[in-house]
Structure formats: structure tokens, C-alpha cells
Amino acid sequence: MLGVRGGDCGAVEIDGQAFHRAMMPRYITLERLAEVGFNHRNAGKTVVFTNGCFDILHAGHVRYLTAAKAQGDVLIVGLNSDASVRKIKGDKRPIVGQEQRAEVLAGLACVDYIAIFDEPDPYRLIRSLMPDVLVKGADWPEDAIIGADIVKAAGGRVARIDVVAEISTSRIIETILARYGEARS
């Protein structure tokens, strides 16, 4: 079973399949991306898009995603698939598979939708969605942000969010290896 036991907060225990079914409406395909964005914009909402690997979710990710959501009303996260992460980070990554990474992201209050993509960059997602705001970490110069050109040409804007330099998945992996050794089983 998965979940939280009751008490004053009213929480109930649910199994993993029930949790996954509850999160499913948050997962969207490339084909539905444009429709979801259109519907929210028609409702007067500002659509925000960001992307990343989000392998071993940590406080830096949560702060970044919370700040991204603050840029508008609806936050759509493009999540690099396992194959995409391997192309970017190498064969030893991701540590956590795409289904679990998506499930963890779906559990964050600031994330409204998740779209998993196989390409090394989110250009097709951005082109399909045409968000009002494209968010990336401030460690990216604006002229290097994939999709910034088309978002700005359509009247949108780019927001660069400060990253927490001392918190990263790579540092977490290094800490684990230093403490427990690579050869331990």
C-alpha cells in the first residue's frame, strides 16, 4: 500500500495503482499539448513551460519549479525520457526511471501537467504548446535557451530562474558514492 494513514488530516491509504490512476490526467502527450495550452489561454490563464531531467528530485528542483509556477497560472513540465536523459547525461543516467520521475513531479502542487519527450531538447513541445512564458535556469544565457526565439516571436516571454548551485543530482550521486563506495552491493 502507498499513502498516508488517516488521523486528523483526513488522509487515506491508497495502493500504487490507484495513485497512478489519480495522477494520469496530469500526463499529456505531444498531440494533446497544443489543445491543453489553447484551452487554458482561452480561459484567461497564463501558460508556463519548463523542462528537465529531474533525476533524483531535490530541493533545488522544487524551488525552481515553484518559481516557474509563480510566472503564470498553469505549469507544464517537459520531462526528458530515459532515452533522452542517456543522450544528454550518458549511459549511467537516469538513476530513476521516467515513470517514477513523472509520478514524483505529478505529486508536486506547483506542477499542473507533464509531457515526456524523447528528443534531447524540448523544441517540438515548445513549438506545439507556444507557452506564454518559457522558463529555464539562470545558468542558461537567454540566446542559448531552446525555443526562446519562437516564444518571443509569438509575443511570449522568457524567464530565467536562479538555480541553487550547491544542490544538484550530480552532487547527490557524488555524495552517495563517496559515502558508500561504488563497489558496494
What are the boundaries of each domain within the chain?
Answer: 27-180
pLDDT at 26: 85
Is 117 within 8 Å of 19 (Cβ atoms)? no
Is 3 within 8 Å of 12 (Cβ atoms)? yes
Radius of gyration of the chain (CA): 17
pLDDT at 164: 87
pLDDT at 183: 57
Is 101 within 8 Å of 23 (Cβ atoms)? no
Residues forming a β-bridge with 137: 161
Distance CA(89)–CA(108), nearest Å, equals: 24
Is 74 within 8 Å of 112 (Cβ atoms)? yes
Place of cell 489553447: 38
Is 67 within 8 Å of 95 (Cβ atoms)? no
H-only helix segments in 43-157: 59-69, 82-89, 98-106, 123-129, 148-153
**In this structure, what C-alpha cell is assigned to residue 17?**
495503482
Instruction: Report how far apart the first and last C-alpha atoms of the chain are (Å, whole number).
Output: 27
Distance CA(65)–CA(72), nearest Å, equals: 12
Topology of domain 27-180, CATH: Rossmann fold (3.40.50)
Residue ranges of the chain with per-residue pLDDT less than 70: 1-25, 182-185
pLDDT at 22: 54
DSSP 9: T
Label residue 95 exposed, middle or buried (CB < 10 Å: 0-12, 13-18, 19+): middle
> Phi/psi at 28 (nearest 5 deg)?
-130, 150
pTM: 0.85
